[in-house]
Each structure stands twice: as C-alpha cells, then as structure tokens.
Amino acid sequence: MTEKQNKILIVDDEKNILWVLKKGLEKKNYLVHTASSGEEALKKLADNQYLMMFSDIFMEETNGLELLEQSRKLFPDLKVVMMTAQDTMNNTIEAMRLGAYDYITKPFDFDEIFRLIDQVETARSISAPASALPNQNQEAGTQDTDTTSAIIGKSKRMQEIFKTIGQSAGSDLPILITGESGTGKEMVASTLHQYSHRKDKPFICINCAAISRELLESELFGHERGAFTGAIETKMGKFQQADGGTLFLDEIGDLELPLQAKILRVLQNNEFYRVGGKNPITVDVRVIAATNQNLEDMMNLKRFREDLYHRLNVIHIDMPPLRERLQDVPLLANHFIHRYAKTLSHGKVYLSPDVERILSRYHWSGNIRELENVIKRALMLALSGPILPEHLPPHLQEDNTTDDNGQWDERLDQLIQDFLIHNHSEEGTVYETLIQKVEKHLFEILLSKYSGKQVATAKALGINRNTLKRKIDTMKISPKKHKSA
C-alpha cells in the first residue's frame, strides 16, 4: 500500500480542527476524510478502509469514547487516536481501556501526529506469519489437546527431556525435577501424569514453601477432629486426595527435617498417619518432587535428608533456564499469544521480526514465567497487528539498544580502519572527511532501522526532520535503499 492510498479519518465537531488536520496530512500525500459527528464517522468507516482514525472525545450525541468503543467492535484492526483539549486522568484511562491506540491533547504537535502515523504504517507493512502458532504435535512433541499445559521446545535439551518423559511416564518410580524458578517444572510434572496410566486419577499439587510449617503437616497428611485447636472436623490430606494418582511436591527443599522423615515413610511403606490419628492410612500415590535449590549442598549442610534425596532422585529431570535454549523463545512466545489473545487483544496479533529478534537474544532471568508476562503486556498494548518493540517493557528495549550500540561500535571501528588505510586526503581535511563518512554511515543505519521513515529517524537522532532531509540530499543517500517519509 502506497502512502497516497492510505486513508485517514478525522472526527471532530470543530470545523477549524478538521481543516487544520486535513491540510497538514494532505501535504504528506494522505487521503483525508472528515466527519463532524460520531454517526457520520461510523457511516464512513463502513464504506472505507482507513489506516487510522483521529477522533475528538467531546462531541454531541455519540461522543468520542462511544465512537471508539463501537468502532473497535466493528473494526478491530483500526487504530484509533483520541484527541481532546481537556487532558484529564479519567479521559486518558477510559480511552486506553476501551482500546485507543494513543491519546493526544490539543493544540497538536504535528511531529507527534506524524510519528503515530509512521508507527501504524510500519506495523501495517509487517505481514502476519502463515501460522502464528506452530503445530505442537510436530514442534513440541506434546499432545495437541491441551494447549494451556503444553511443554514447548525444539532445542536439543528439551528433546532429551521429552524422551525422558516418554520413557518414565508409564512407571510409578519417583521423579525429581530441578531447575530455576519459572522454567516449567510443574508443566513437566503435569505432562508426566497426563501420559501415565494414572491420568484418569487425581493430579494434586502442593507448594511446600507457600504454607506455614505448622499447617503443612496437616495439608499433607490431614488431621483428626480435635487434634489441635481449631480442628473441628476430620480433614483429608493431599496424600489421601491423590490416592491412585500423582502428588506433586513443589519446592520440596523447603520442607523441615521432621516432615522429610514422614514423607520418606510414605515412599517406603505407602502409609502414613493423620495428625492426631492412631491408625495408619495406606495409599497408592506416585510422588513427583521439584526444587530450585541444590539438594546435594543442602545434604552437606544437614538440611536435607540423604535417604529422602535418593528415594526421590530415582529419575532426575533438570530443566534448563530459558537463556540456554533461546531458540525455543519464538515458539513459547507464539504459544502465549495463542493462549491469551482472546482475552487481552482485539484482533489477530503476531510477533514482528524486530521483536522476535529482541526476545531471542534477551537473558530471561525470570525464565518462561517472565516471557509469559512480557507477552501478556504486549498483547494488551498492541491490541491487533504486529507486536512492535515499543510494546515491550523498557528494560527489553534498553537491552536491545545496548546490543545495537555494540554492533555500531564494531561498524565504526571498521569504518575508521578502512578510512585510515585508504584515505589520501591532505592532513587538514582528514578529520572533516572522516566525520562526513561516519555521519553518512550513521544516517544510513538509522534510516534502515526505521524503514526509511524520516520522522522516526530524525527523532532518534534528536534533530529536525528538515535538517535530516537536507543531510540526506547533501550526502546523496540513495532513495532506492530508503523510502522517503
């Protein structure tokens, strides 16, 4: 789509506002339609395909917020920018809650308007991938019936974990899953249960670190009526609830030593006593335990029983941190987009190439849980179309900038070295010639980064757009490489 084909709708009941915006945008070769009411705007939206809509908030009959809400329902891919002379917290919050792309105040800064249009044009130029979510049967090796609990990964380490799950799921042997927080240990435990002969029986989870020491024994084993103050009735514990199925003991490294001994007894004899109980209760439970701690170090410090460790560690699965399997990041990101798009966005949302590149080289100290939250945030901000770098948290954008600076340093070093080797200018012109070459190279890099958009490039450089245009003409930067903004 060329710029001349891009249509923009302006909605305002003030004729002078319509006239100013229309004239300003037509100078950039946009086809501008205007409407003086929400009703007229809805009719034009039905008859035309617009790049975006700028709408005033305070209008008679159908006001701007009502127009925003109706237009977002009818045309979920339309980007709507709200305008008002009354910049209040309530207006801003309500506009963004209803799905506005952005919110600007009068009097207008045309540079800001052009920046918003550039962003939408850039997003529109990024086509959606053929499939936002790969076939999980082929890519992840997990069943396709439950996308909310799928383990995603095609890296070598994840493929080895899939093999271990397949080999051990059918047995009743205890399994110990280790790894940093957020690496998906509970997902693995759930998948082991789903593939086992116990899949039709309960899968019970308990986080040993989330319950106080005083209550944990009762949660695990239950208690008899009157066993302690407040025990007004007999309670069934997690081991009994999981009878015939699987019990997942998360963060088992946080268990106190006395409780470790009681769990060891269940693993040895398949029986336990309720708190205050006198008769043993026999259960058939497969135990899967997980921890983010080093249990061997804890054994050396006498904080974890060695006999319990060896009972649990019959089969060991070590979950790698996300930073050690970065090739899986796009798969995971698309999985979360598929999982949350219906509730957090208003149309088809997908990763832009820039965002996929940023996500695939980030450190991910919070592992999969951090990636999941990043995608949730991006879905809420993007609403529809591609997820762009500005939809990511600031620290990811800063991390991206740091990497770009590193690449720029390498290019600059090479440029200077080539200049010193091949330059034959007189000594008095060496500095000036080098600065010109570096400046031209910088402008070419940034124009390429912003897809030839001069407004965005000028903002990144901190200069006026007219200055940038003059520099482009002076330095003879080829228009074939960079589209004019």
Domains of the chain: 3-125 (3.40.50.2300), 156-319 (3.40.50.300), 329-392 (1.10.8.60), 396-475 (1.10.10.60)
Contact 255, 208 (CB under 8 A): yes
Q: What is the pLDDT of residue 421?
A: 57
d(CA 347, CA 383) in angstroms, rounded, equals: 6
Q: What is the pLDDT of residue 473?
A: 81
Q: What is the pLDDT of residue 409?
A: 54
Q: Which residues of the chain have pLDDT under 50?
A: 1-4, 131, 133-149, 401-406, 479-485
Helix (H) or strand (E) holding 467: helix 465-475
d(CA 184, CA 219) in angstroms, rounded, equals: 24
Q: What is the pLDDT of residue 481?
A: 47
Q: Where are the alpha helices (DSSP H) in 329-383?
A: 329-344, 353-359, 367-382
Q: What is the pLDDT of residue 319?
A: 95
This model's pTM is above 0.75: no
Q: What is the pLDDT of residue 112?
A: 87
DSSP state at residue 463: S
Q: What is the pLDDT of residue 2?
A: 43
d(CA 414, CA 305) in angstroms, rounded, equals: 59
